[in-house]
C-alpha cells in the first residue's frame, strides 16, 4: 500500500486518540478501519462490517473529528467514502452549515437540545442559557464553568456558541482549547503574524476557551491572554472559560487573572446522579437510533458512575457488541461487553459518614468533634478534608454536605473544598493520602 497514505492514516489515528473520543469507541470502531486510497480529495476507507461504517457515518461528531484532523494534516477538506470489501458503502461530505460550525470550531452535536439537565449541572446550564440569550449585555463576563473530567463543560460551551450562531450567523464566535490558543500564539510570533493573531481574537463577539488551567504555567501566553481578555471585556464581548478547578485554586495562575475570572460568574458541574445518567443514556440511545431496553440502560448507568464520556463509551460498546454477537441488546450481552472494563460494584458506597469514620481514624479526631463547632486546627483541618472528600467523591450538593457536618452552610463547604484542593495540588503526599483514605472508605484496603 501507498506508504504516504499509511503514514497519513497513522497520524490521523494518533491525533484521534488525543480527542475526546473514548478509548472504547476508538477500539470498537476506528481501529477497525483501514485506508484504501486518496483520490481527488476523497479518502476511500475500508470498513470490516457495514455496521461500523454506518455507525461512524451516522455520528456527526465522528465526522467532525475526521474532517478537522485530516484538514490539519493535509490542509484540505476531504470527503470520505466507506467500502465494505470492494463495494461502495457510504460517504459524507462537508455542507455549508458544517462550514459555519467549522469556522467557529463548534461540534454540531453539542447543543442545548442534546444536553440533559439534572441536579448536578442545572446551575451551569441555566447560566449558559442566560449568557447565550443575552449576549449583547455580557452581564456575566466571563462565564467560568468548572468541574471534573467528562462532565459536560465543553458541551455547554459549544451549546452557547450554537445558540448565538443560530440566532445570528454573522456573529463572530470561536471555540478553542487553551492549548490551541497557545500554539497559535507561538506560531504567530514565529511567523511574524502576531498582529493578525491579536486582531482575530480581539474581534470576536463570543470567545470560548476550554481548559484554561493549562495556560497557567505559560507566562507569555498568559500575558497575551490577559490583554485579549481585557480588550474583549472592555468592549462588552462575551468570554466563556472552562477549567477543572475554580479560578483561585489553579496553580500558578496570575492573581490579576484570578480576580478577573472570579469577577464574572463562576459555576460548577458535579458528577451526575443516577437519574441523570439514565436520562443521558436514554437520550443518546434514542438519538443514535439504538433500541436499548430500560433494564440495560439502568444497568449501564449503575456501572459507570462518574464520567459522562465513559457512560457514552459504554453505551456504544454494549450496542456494538450486542449487534455483532446475538443481535439483541440484553443485560447478558451488556455485562459481557463491559466485563473487562467495569468490575462488579462490590465496593462500599461513599458517604460523608463513611468518610468521617476514616478521617477520624487517620487524624485521631472523634466523630463528635468533626461535627462540632470547634475550630482548633487539629480538628478543623481534618474536618475540611472530610468535606473536600464528600464534595469530590459523592453526588451530594454543597447544602447537603454542610448539613451532615453539624449543620454548616454551603459557603463553609466551598471554602473547605477550595482550601484542600489547593493543598492537594501543592502537596503530593496529601493527594496520595486522600486516595488511600477513599479506598479505605470503599472497603478496598
C-beta of 188 vs 242, nearer to ligand ATP = 242
- Residue 155 is a binding residue for ligand ATP (CB under 6 A): yes
The rounded distance, in Å, linking the Cα atoms of 440 and 444 is 6
Query: In the complex, what is the shortest distance from the CB of residue 266 to ligand ATP, in angstroms, rounded to a whole number?
Result: 15
Query: In the complex, what is the shortest distance from the CB of residue 121 to ligand ATP, in angstroms, rounded to a whole number?
Result: 5
C-beta of 60 vs 423, nearer to ligand ATP = 60
- % helix, strand, coil for the chain, step of 5: 60, 10, 30
Of 21, 69, 106, 116, which one interacts with ligand ATP (CB under 6 A)? 116
- Pairing verdict, β 143-147 and 265-269: parallel
Nearest to 321 by CA among 306, 349, 307, 341: 341
The footprint of ligand ATP on residues 305-364 (CB under 6 A) is 308-309, 312
Query: In the complex, what is the shortest distance from the CB of residue 297 to ligand ATP, in angstroms, rounded to a whole number?
Result: 14
DSSP code of residue 249: G
Q: How many CB atoms lie within 10 A of CB 4?
A: 9
Report which residue's Cβ sits closest to ligand ATP.
152
- Residue 402 is a binding residue for ligand ATP (CB under 6 A): no
Residue 138 near residue 171, CB atoms below 8 Å: no
The rounded distance, in Å, linking the Cα atoms of 272 and 70 is 34
Q: Which residues touch 377 (CB under 8 Å, ≥6 apart)? A: none
The rounded distance, in Å, linking the Cα atoms of 311 and 330 is 17
The rounded distance, in Å, linking the Cα atoms of 120 and 110 is 18
- Residue 149 is a binding residue for ligand ATP (CB under 6 A): yes
Is 152 annotated to bind a ligand? Reply is: yes
Query: In the complex, what is the shortest distance from the CB of residue 390 to ligand ATP, in angstroms, rounded to a whole number?
Result: 21
Query: In the complex, what is the shortest distance from the CB of residue 253 to ligand ATP, in angstroms, rounded to a whole number?
Result: 17
Is 153 annotated to bind a ligand? Reply is: yes
Query: In the complex, what is the shortest distance from the CB of residue 348 to ligand ATP, in angstroms, rounded to a whole number?
Result: 27
Judged by CB under 6 A, the stretch of 115-123, 291-299, 357-365, 410-418 that binds ligand ATP is 115-123
Is 154 annotated to bind a ligand? Reply is: yes
Q: Half-sphere exposure of residue 439, counting CA atoms within 13 Å on the CB side?
A: 8
The rounded distance, in Å, linking the Cα atoms of 330 and 318 is 9
- Residue 395 is a binding residue for ligand ATP (CB under 6 A): no
239 — phi, psi (to 5°)? -120, 135
Alpha helices in 364-408 (DSSP H): 367-371, 377-393, 398-404
- Residue 218 is a binding residue for ligand ATP (CB under 6 A): no
- Residue 25 is a binding residue for ligand ATP (CB under 6 A): no
The footprint of ligand ATP on residues 231-270 (CB under 6 A) is 244
Residue 232 near residue 207, CB atoms below 8 Å: yes
Is 150 annotated to bind a ligand? Reply is: yes
C-beta of 21 vs 396, nearer to ligand ATP = 21
C-beta of 369 vs 395, nearer to ligand ATP = 395
Instruction: Count residues binding ligand ATP (CB under 6 A).
Output: 19
Instruction: State the DSSP H helix or E strand holding residue 338, giving kind and residue range, or none if neither.
Output: helix 331-338
- Annotated binding-site residues for ATP read 150, 152-154
Q: Which residues bind ligand ATP (CB under 6 A)?
A: 20, 110, 114-116, 121, 147, 149-155, 244, 280, 308-309, 312
Amino acid at each position: 500500500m501507498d506508504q504516504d497514505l499509511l503514514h497519513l492514516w497513522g497520524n490521523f489515528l494518533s491525533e484521534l486518540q488525543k480527542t475526546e473520543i473514548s478509548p472504547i469507541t476508538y477500539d470498537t470502531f476506528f481501529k477497525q478501519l483501514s485506508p484504501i486510497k486518496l483520490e481527488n480529495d476523497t479518502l476511500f476507507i475500508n470498513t470490516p462490517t457495514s455496521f461500523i461504517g454506518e455507525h461512524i457515518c451516522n455520528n456527526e461528531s465522528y465526522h467532525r473529528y475526521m474532517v478537522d484532523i485530516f484538514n490539519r494534516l493535509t490542509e484540505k477538506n476531504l470527503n470520505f467514502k466507506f467500502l465494505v470489501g470492494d463495494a461502495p458503502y457510504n460517504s459524507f461530505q462537508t455542507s455549508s452549515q458544517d462550514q459555519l460550525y467549522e469556522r467557529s470550531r463548534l461540534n454540531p452535536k453539542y447543543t442545548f437540545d442534546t444536553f440533559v439537565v439534572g441536579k448536578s449541572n442545572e446551575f451551569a446550564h441555566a447560566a449558559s442559557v442566560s449568557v447565550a440569550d443575552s449576549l449583547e449585555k455580557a452581564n456575566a463576563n466571563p462565564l467560568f464553568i468548572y468541574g471534573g473530567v467528562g462532565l459536560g463543560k465543553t458541551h455547554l460551551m459549544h451549546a452557547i456558541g450554537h445558540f448565538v450562531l443560530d440566532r445570528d450567523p454573522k456573529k463572530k464566535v470561536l471555540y478553542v482549547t487553551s492549548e490551541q490558543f497557545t500554539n497559535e500564539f507561538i506560531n504567530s510570533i514565529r511567523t511574524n503574524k502576531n498582529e493578525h493573531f491579536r486582531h482575530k481574537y480581539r474581534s470576536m463577539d463570543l470567545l470560548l476557551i476550554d481548559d484554561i488551567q493549562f495556560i497557567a504555567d505559560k507566562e507569555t501566553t498568559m500575558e497575551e491572554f490577559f490583554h485579549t481578555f481585557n480588550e474583549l471585556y472592555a468592549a462588552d464581548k462575551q468570554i466563556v472559560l472552562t477549567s477543572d478547578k475554580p479560578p483561585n485554586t489553579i496553580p500558578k495562575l496570575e492573581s490579576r487573572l484570578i480576580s478577573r475570572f472570579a469577577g464574572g460568574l463562576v459555576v460548577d458541574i458535579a458528577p451526575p446522579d443516577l437519574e441523570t445518567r439514565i436520562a443521558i443514556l436514554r437520550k443518546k440511545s434514542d438519538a443514535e437510533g439504538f433500541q436499548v431496553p430500560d433494564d440495560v440502560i439502568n444497568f449501564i448507568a449503575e456501572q459507570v458512575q462518574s464520567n459522562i464520556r465513559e457512560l457514552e463509551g459504554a453505551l456504544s460498546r454494549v450496542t456494538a457488541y450486542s449487534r455483532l454477537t446475538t443481535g439483541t441488546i440484553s443485560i447478558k450481552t451488556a455485562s459481557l461487553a463491559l466485563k473487562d472494563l467495569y468490575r462488579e460494584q462490590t465496593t462500599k458506597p461513599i458517604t460523608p459518614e463513611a468518610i468521617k469514620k476514616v478521617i477520624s481514624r487517620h487524624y485521631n479526631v472523634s466523630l463528635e468533634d468533626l461535627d462540632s463547632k470547634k475550630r482548633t486546627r487539629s480538628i478543623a483541618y481534618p474536618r475540611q478534608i472530610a468535606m473536600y472528600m464528600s464534595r469530590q467523591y459523592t453526588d451530594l450538593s454543597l447544602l447537603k454536605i454542610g448539613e451532615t457536618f453539624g449543620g454548616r452552610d454551603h459557603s463553609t463547604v466551598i471554602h473547605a473544598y477550595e482550601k484542600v484542593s489547593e493543598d492537594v495540588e501543592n502537596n503530593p503526599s496529601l493527594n496520595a493520602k486522600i486516595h488511600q483514605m477513599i479506598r479505605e472508605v470503599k472497603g478496598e484496603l
